[in-house]
Chains A and B, each alone.
Chain A
Amino acid sequence: MIRYLSRRLIGVIGVLIAIAAVTFTIFYVLPSDPAAAACGKSCSVERLAAIRAHMGLDQPIWQQFWDFLSGIFTGRTMGSGQYTLHCGFPCLGYSYENSEAVWGLLMDRLPVSASLASGAAVLWLLFGLSAGVTAALRKDTLLDRVLMVGAVGAASLPVYFTSMMLIYGLIRVAGLLPYPQYVALGTDPLHWASNLLLPWLALAILYAAMYARQSRSSMIETMAEPFIRTARAKGLPRRTVVVKHGMRAGMTPILTLFGMDLGGLLAGAVITESLFGLPGIGRLFYGALSTGDQPVVLGVTLLAATFIVVANLAVDLLYAVVDPRVRLR
């Protein structure tokens, strides 16, 4: 177990460094000169060079990458003379736009994205899995048909379409819900939930449909396995067979999917956050793109990759708990 974990952790770090390298190359080598952008239109050559030196852009690219990478773990001192900035432990650099530390920006926005992702996840697991498992157990009945037609339809709706319909139907016409305004969970849990309900629904409809389809086929496959027949033959109650034997094994593919999806959403749902005006990481990212704020773009990408990789690791560890057939080596 400890050997497995340490091997996997080394792998995680390797993947993250590789992703950082690729991202760094793409966003620092290819695009327009950030120093020129920061300097403005009437910019003297000397001033441009000074800004470039301050940003570290005059260094060779591998040196810049090394500084960036080591800065994440040890912090780094940026610039020189009167413009010296010390950037503490998880140093992801400073935003070109407002000179705030990228790490701080990300941490400010994370609660919003995390609230959105976790609430939606609860809803889509609840509805998606119960629909999928019900359909699998009542395979080829009318109920199965209805559920699956609904699922395939809902899975074909883009999230911005669902969001627009929800905004139009529930806010504009019915006036049932307020237009989302993020309230921190700590401040007012009730308002937190009522404001996020609509974005949760918008995301959950899409994912619930996908999870219903996936869990149905997975459950049908599992329920045909010999160990299910054995469990039945032993005379176990149907509920025990379905929940303890069937679902434990049938949910492993769902778990893989869930790790990926939740990991991806934690680092920001770009479209949903923009549509509902939620100040999460997705919006931060989208805004940073339009202004060419590369440190922020790089920071969000790395954070997203970290979430995905860590979620995958967590899922693999959970396998051993959920599915008795899995042993970690």
Chain B
Amino acid sequence: METTQMTTTAPAPVAVPAGSGPWQLARAELRGRASVKVSLAIIALFALMAAGAPLLSGLGGWAPDAFDKSAVDPYLGGQPIGPLGGISADHWLGVEPVTGRDLFARVVHGAQVSLLIAITATAIVVVAGTAAGIAAGYFGGRTDAVLSRLMDLTMSFPSLIFMIAMMSVAKDVNRIVLMTAVIGLFGWPGIARVVRGQTLSLTHREYVDAARVGGSGPWRILTRDILPGVAGPVIAYTTLIIPGMIATEAALSYLGVGVRPPTPSWGQMIAESANFYDTDPMYFVIPSVCLFLTVLAFTLLGDALRDILDPRGSRR
């Protein structure tokens, strides 16, 4: 009698608030990390920039493809007038040499293109990869064999070479949609393998067997029992592949097979600025720093998420 009372009234541990599930614990741990704060701040900055691109460039007073011949010196080969690549109250980050297009407007619109493509491609990869991985791991047998062969095949493609080739062959389509599809096409096997492994280890746990005995159909088991179990590694992995997507988009645009001018993109701006790096280094520095910071921030966030949500396993 006394003992039962004691167990029911035992106080909860002090540090952890009552009713804290694994997600609350993860969030609490995330909040304690300095690298997470910094990376979230950077990501938020660029996300806002991308989302509010038309608004921001309106605020700056220049459209991304508006020429400003008065900001460049025609006698110096179209050099921007003024120090640091023409940074002034009128042009906040300076101007492009020769054309005088406003760099602030171009960087902001470039963020929109880069992040849109990277995030959409990531979404495609994650949805396709998770679906394939769960199906392969849960159904096993022939489904697993076919899907696993398909993963092996996709991973054997020289992906960058293939992406470049596909981008340059297809000519009369929406470049942003095409690029998202092409980048997404080669990314899914990585996440599918992680999810497949995780699903295999979950499929024969007692709680899944219990659900099966209780009469749950495969769809219900997959969505209610398996999916939450693979969510942690999937979230961590998702954040870790975003930098790769951003870098790939930038590389394709850099090589001139990405988005077409006048649509700005960071990779394309870096490629153009390479011609002026001697005379106008700021033009090279600004898009490079944006690209670097975004990739860095997503990598740091992904590292932290992986440490917390996926302490071991799923690392290949």
Contact = CB atoms under 8 A, between A and B. Distances in A.
Interface residues of A, number: 47
B205 interface: no
Contacts of B155: 260
Given A19-B156, A164-B274, A309-B156, A268 B161 contact: yes
A166 to B, nearest CB: 12
Interface of B: 152-153, 155-158, 160-162, 164-166, 168-171, 243, 247, 250-251, 254-255, 257, 267, 270-271, 274, 277-278, 284, 288, 291-292, 295-296, 299-300, 303, 312, 315-316
A304 B158 contact: yes
Contacts of A32: 171
A264 B292 CA distance: 24
A138 B158 CA distance: 37
Contacts of B257: 289
A153 B315 CA distance: 21
Interface of A: 11, 15, 18-19, 22-23, 26-27, 30-32, 152-153, 155-158, 160-161, 164, 168, 172, 217-218, 221, 253, 256, 260, 264, 267-268, 270-271, 274, 285-286, 289-290, 297, 300-301, 304-305, 307-309, 312
B316 A253 contact: yes
Given A156-B243, A156-B299, A161-B270, A270 B164 contact: yes
A157 B157 contact: no
Given A31-B169, A158-B251, A270-B255, A305 B292 contact: no
What is the interface of chain A mostly: helix, strand, loop, or mixed? helix
A291 B131 CA distance: 40
Contact of A156 (B158, B255, B271, B295): B295
A27 B299 contact: no
Contact of A305 (B156, B168, B251, B274): B156
Contact of B251 (A15, A153, A164, A271): A271
Contacts of A11: 152
Contact of B165 (A26, A157, A308): A26
A264 B312 contact: no
B292 to A, nearest CB: 5
A270 B161 contact: yes
Contacts of A301: 158, 161-162, 165
Contacts of A256: 316
